[in-house]
Amino acid sequence: MGAQGSSVGSVSAIRGPVERHRAAAADLRARYARLPEGHRVRLAKPTSNLFRFRDSADRVSRLDAGALGEVLHVDPEARTATVQGMTTYERFVDATLPHGLMPHVVPQLKTITVGGALAGLGIESSSFRNGLAHESVLEVEVLTGDGRLVTATPDNEHADLFAGLPNSYGTLGYAVSLKVELQPVRRYVALRHLRFADAAGCAEAIAGICRDGSHQGEPVDFLDGTVFGAGEQYLTLGRFTDEAAQPPSDYTGQRIYYRSIQSRAEDVLTTRDYLWRWDTDWFWCSRALGAQHPLGRRLWPRRYRRSDTYRRLVALDRRYGFSGRVRGWQGLPPEEPVIQDIEVPVERLPEFLDAFHADIGISPVWLCPVRLRNPAGWPLYPMEPGRLYVNVGFWSAVPLVDGQEMGTHNRRIERLVADLDGHKSLYSDSYYTAEEFDRHYNGPAYRVLKKGYDPAGRLPDLYDKCVRER
């Protein structure tokens, strides 16, 4: 997949998008300034990948940033792109692939925005070598909580903000535009699915592949895993290639990607289809909505087989409680949503999975190795630089029995992750006390940044947003 056409770098080619961006950024800043004092401000977004569902609160003003969703410039020679903060990764990838390039990390779901992946963290199967999604951001233009438009880089006067934006979830400011590193790609990704009978063997293989960047003499460009049960786990190794040994598979129709992992030792996808292999069925979560039933799948329009459709359906169910009422009619106990991504050091992965299978029981489960690129780390999500972690993702619901209260299972996971020297993402329900939250997410450093960039508290506080407001 070589570069096509001429460079987009001439002034005449980029003047239009840049001028539109400046106007949109100035308009956003002016509208922010006009919002009523005393109201907390939140972004108005057409889609969301957060799972903190809440009713509309009083004294909250919505700031529409929908005009900031454009890819402004792709520079194939420098291997960089400048994008607006609300640009989805679907649009971002569509702009870079024709140049034979992609972002270093492309989060799994099409409607995750580049600004959202900066503020809320983003991970994928290239993270064992490229770190988290925000680690390929070179500079970011931010509308701060105190109403300024500033450009933050790792070494300018706003370097503290640059380092503090990851895991701040829009509580310090909003990314208006970002300059992002890109990497070259090839036409296809060839896959190998390796089965392991126990978590210890799986963890050992993860450590070895990440150390060597290869397996049995073949380079590994992508690495993730799927756990179907305590005795059945797979690692999927991806390798860029320009030649496909077989016709590439298509998992956007009747066939379902995650099911192929158990039945095929090898596979080939186009690079674009590989990047979005999990989106069509929201990993495996579409099965709860009937999209994997053979009849339902034939009737479900292909254009609606995507994560944002499923997320809207879940939001409706959370709002109106359809599934809870059905369980009540069936005499079944209520369920607690357990929708989380956590990281534990690779050597602690078997302990986590053993306890998870025994206490929680959700399957399948996703595995994604990650090692930070930045040797200094990131203050609000303090993973240890140089240490290999494994992200474990699980998204389902667990029955509440014998009088268990809502939050029982999520609290158990939070304690387990802390005991194993791990971390938990904050896109879903959290139950930490204020003291625990301060300890896990560097509360003192956050308060310094909050005072510097949002002293009047126009944006929500991080603990309030991620824990209190459920």
Cβ 74 vs Cβ 81: under 8 Å? yes
Confidence of residue 11 (pLDDT cuts 50, 70, 90): very low
CATH topology (fold) of 321-431:
Alpha-Beta Plaits (3.30.70)
Confidence of residue 318 (pLDDT cuts 50, 70, 90): confident
Share of the chain above pLDDT 90, in %: 83
Question: Can you tell me whether residue 324 is helix, strand or coil?
Answer: helix
Residues 6+ apart with CB under 8 A from 49: 109, 111, 112, 116, 307, 311, 427
| Domain range summary for the chain, segments of one domain joined by + | 11-184, 321-431
DSSP 26: H
Q: Is the pLDDT of residue 50 over 50?
A: yes
Cβ 437 vs Cβ 467: under 8 Å? yes
Angle between helices 307-320 and 322-329 (to 10 degrees): 60
Residue 323 buriedness (CB in 10 A; 0-12 / 13-18 / 19+): middle
Rama region for 241: left / alpha / beta (φ>0; ψ in -120 to 50; rest): beta
DSSP H/E element including 320 = helix 307-320
Question: Closest by alpha carbon to 453, among 163, 179, 178?
Answer: 163
Residue 5 buriedness (CB in 10 A; 0-12 / 13-18 / 19+): exposed
Confidence of residue 321 (pLDDT cuts 50, 70, 90): confident
Question: Closest by alpha carbon to 161, among 186, 142, 148, 147?
Answer: 142
Amino acid letter at 20? R
Cβ 166 vs Cβ 378: under 8 Å? yes
Q: Is the pLDDT of residue 12 over 70?
A: no
Report the distance separating Cα 189 and Cα 269, nearest Å. 5
Cβ 102 vs Cβ 238: under 8 Å? no
What is the tens place of the pLDDT at every residue in 415-467? 999 999 999 999 999 999 999 999 999 999 999 999 999 999 999 999 999 99
pLDDT at 117: 97
Extract the runs of DSSP E, i.e. beta strands, from 45-152.
60-64, 71-75, 80-84, 101-103, 137-144, 149-152
Confidence of residue 9 (pLDDT cuts 50, 70, 90): very low
What is the tens place of the pLDDT at every residue in 192-225? 999 999 999 999 999 999 999 999 999 999 999 9
What is the tens place of the pLDDT at every residue in 323-353? 888 888 988 889 999 999 999 999 999 999 9
Report the distance separating Cα 1 and Cα 3, nearest Å. 7
Report the distance separating Cα 383 and Cα 345, nearest Å. 10
Give the CA dihedral 434, 368, 186, 72, nearest 10 degrees. Answer: -10
CATH 3.30.465.10 fits 11-184, yes or no: yes
Report the distance separating Cα 177 and Cα 143, nearest Å. 10
Q: How many CB atoms lie within 10 A of CB 386?
A: 9
